[in-house]
Chains A and B, each alone.
Chain A
Amino acid sequence: MSIPLRLTVNGERRDLVLEDPRVTLLDALRERLHLTGSKKGCDRGQCGACTVLVDGRRINACLALAVSLDGASVETVEGLANGDALHPVQAAFIAHDGFQCGFCTPGQIMSAVGLIREMREAGESVGDAADVERVREGMSGNLCRCGAYAGITEAVVAAARAEAQAGEKAA
């Protein structure tokens, strides 16, 4: 069985041929395209280490069949930085010490990028204590076994507020 698959990954068109329909999006990214930033933690949709954006929305790449996503646009952690200039969420994770061992970090960062987009689309503000609670809920699909949650939450809140302020200035 050979199944042609076309994805746009980090803005670049990638053509693949799958010999097996069982390949998940995560395996396609890691094993076929050698984009190993997205991590295989639990492989069952429980830990969030595989979080990527598909057509702009964060999902668990381990629970999506690649063949079903033919034609989709995928963003992974490899596509965030612009050369040596880090994405604001990446920079916020460093500034706020949002990790320890780093294994869950690509998934945390992609999830945060997705969350900030979701909050922007829903017109949600990021300015008070309720929003910290909202961020904690919004990041609950990403586990961190080192327990760096305090720093992760600070980083995501800071990045969301920075983006909201930048948006206000632009408007």
Chain B
Amino acid sequence: MNLFAYTRAASIAEAVTAAAEPGAAYLAAGTNLLDLMKGGIATPSRLVDITRLPGLDAVEPQPDGSTRIGALVRNSDLARNAHVAKTYPMVAEALLAGASAQLRNAATTAGNLLQRTRCAYFYDPASPCNKREPGAGCQAIGGATRIHAVLGWSEHCIATHPSDLCVPLAALGAQVEIAEAGGRRTVPIGDFHRLPSDHPERETVLEPGALVTAVILPPEAAAFSGHARYLKVRDRTSYAFATVSAAAALTLENGRIGAARLALGGVALKPWRVAEAEDALTGATPDAEAFSKAAAALVAGAKPSGPENAFKIELARRTVVRALTLAQAGTPARMPALPASPFSHAAGALHA
């Protein structure tokens, strides 16, 4: 790990100023950053510790029906928050399907959005990587690509975003609140992460020094609490990143779908949400045919980034159909003992 200067920020304004300095990085829990620093993948010259910033660690239901989630709310606290578990159950399920309990107790909401890809070539300083060194090339292309992207990738980068949390947040149309030198603004989470295109090193819309202060779930997101599931297909039953995951939420009215929310994880460098897929469900009878149509619309244009990941397209389609089928059946009263697992048959903890 390189030597770095350490600053403990006392205010958001102080943090934004300190972090705008070239080479500076924010430190919250550090569960991803320290790992990257130990591997020589991240080498910040200054860490700006934001863990003592006041007012960023609360989950606050708002009068307009939206919910403000502070940037520093820990994953486990967010998942166990009674309001979140009841109102946005697929957010809780996705969180509890991610990482290990130790990591969830430390990792923060904003840190989850900003975690880096788990591409093995990105993690290996000996491999050329356009994210680490723009223009160096991509060793993943033509390499071992089983976990890589099938949507939205470019000839410069085929990595995926590893977050579980971001998938239901994207499906529910969350807004990301950002503090920067000029003030505060909010960005839809769908626009927050960038696809690799020609600049895989630019991962989000954040400018230097910009600080994520909150994630806001809009009022309409609460309508889906009764029929919402997150489904995560992974190589191990627990403590593994998604091979493919899906967040699916429905409102049902008189035997028909009123509204639908759908997003895929593990397939692209951002959660994948397509309006046509949700439109295909609106007003439809909730059956296998409608779910298949929506799944096809969601993966439209998918293309393997290597021969080893062609299977992910069909897997994604089936995962979406299964997630929709589970959502239709209704949010379980108790969180499954193995959250989001296709192998979980027993109900475990109370949802809220």
**A3 / chain B contacts, CB cutoff of 8 Å:** 6
Tell me whether B349 and A134 are in contact (CB under 8 A).
yes
Q: Which of A84-92, A122-130, A163-171 contacts B (4 or more CB under 8 A)?
A: A122-130
- Complex formed: what's the CA distance from A103 to B52 in Å? 34
Q: Which of A7-15, A29-37, A55-63, A151-159 contacts B (4 or more CB under 8 A)?
A: A55-63
Tell me, yes or no, whether B311 is within 8 Å of chain A by CB.
Answer: no
**A136 / chain B contacts, CB cutoff of 8 Å:** 238
Q: Which of B29-37, B62-70, B136-144, B258-266 contacts A (4 or more CB under 8 A)?
A: B29-37
Q: Residue-by-residue, is A131-147 near B (CB-CB < 8 Å gives 1, otherwise 0)?
A: 10110111011100000
Tell me, yes or no, whether B102 is within 8 Å of chain A by CB.
Answer: yes
Tell me whether A65 and B348 are in contact (CB under 8 A).
no
Tell me, yes or no, whether A114 is within 8 Å of chain B by CB.
Answer: yes
What residue of chain A has the Cβ atom nearest to residue B77's Cβ? A57
Tell me whether A133 and B30 are in contact (CB under 8 A).
no
Tell me, yes or no, whether B338 is within 8 Å of chain A by CB.
Answer: yes
Q: Residue-by-residue, is B22-63 near A (CB-CB < 8 Å gives 1, otherwise 0)?
A: 000001011100110011000000010101000000000000
From known contacts A68-B27, A124-B349, A140-B239, infer whether A58 and B105 are also in contact, taking CB-CB under 8 Å: yes
What residue of chain A has the Cβ atom nearest to residue B5's Cβ? A21
Tell me whether B100 and A21 are in contact (CB under 8 A).
no
**B338 / chain A contacts, CB cutoff of 8 Å:** 133, 137
**A63 / chain B contacts, CB cutoff of 8 Å:** 29-31, 34-35, 103, 106
From known contacts A24-B34, A45-B35, A141-B239, infer whether A123 and B101 are also in contact, taking CB-CB under 8 Å: no
What residue of chain A has the Cβ atom nearest to residue B106's Cβ? A59
- Complex formed: what's the CA distance from A45 to B31 in Å? 8
Q: How many residues of A are in contact with the other chain, CB < 8 A?
A: 41
Tell me whether A68 and B49 are in contact (CB under 8 A).
yes
A43 contact from B29, B38, B99, B348, Cβ within 8 A: B38
What residue of chain B has the Cβ atom nearest to residue A52's Cβ? B102
B29 to chain A, nearest CB (A): 7
Tell me whether B348 and A131 are in contact (CB under 8 A).
yes
- Complex formed: what's the CA distance from A25 to B80 in Å? 26
Tell me whether B31 and A133 are in contact (CB under 8 A).
no
Tell me, yes or no, whether A67 is within 8 Å of chain B by CB.
Answer: yes
What residue of chain B has the Cβ atom nearest to residue A107's Cβ? B102
Q: Which residues on B are within 8 Å of A, measured CB to CB?
A: 1, 3-6, 8, 27, 29-31, 34-35, 38-39, 47, 49, 51, 76, 80, 99-103, 105-106, 236-239, 337-339, 344, 346-350
Closest 8 CB pairs of A and B: A141-B100, A130-B346, A140-B238, A133-B337, A21-B6, A140-B239, A134-B337, A57-B105
* 21 A-B residue pairs with CB within 8 Å: A21-B6, A44-B35, A44-B38, A45-B34, A48-B100, A58-B102, A60-B103, A60-B106, A63-B29, A63-B31, A63-B35, A65-B47, A65-B49, A67-B49, A111-B102, A119-B349, A130-B337, A133-B344, A140-B100, A140-B239, A141-B99
Given A22-B1, A63-B29, A140-B236, 19 extra CB contacts under 8 A = A20-B3, A21-B5, A22-B3, A22-B4, A24-B34, A58-B101, A58-B102, A63-B103, A64-B30, A65-B34, A68-B27, A68-B49, A121-B80, A122-B80, A130-B347, A134-B349, A140-B238, A141-B99, A141-B101
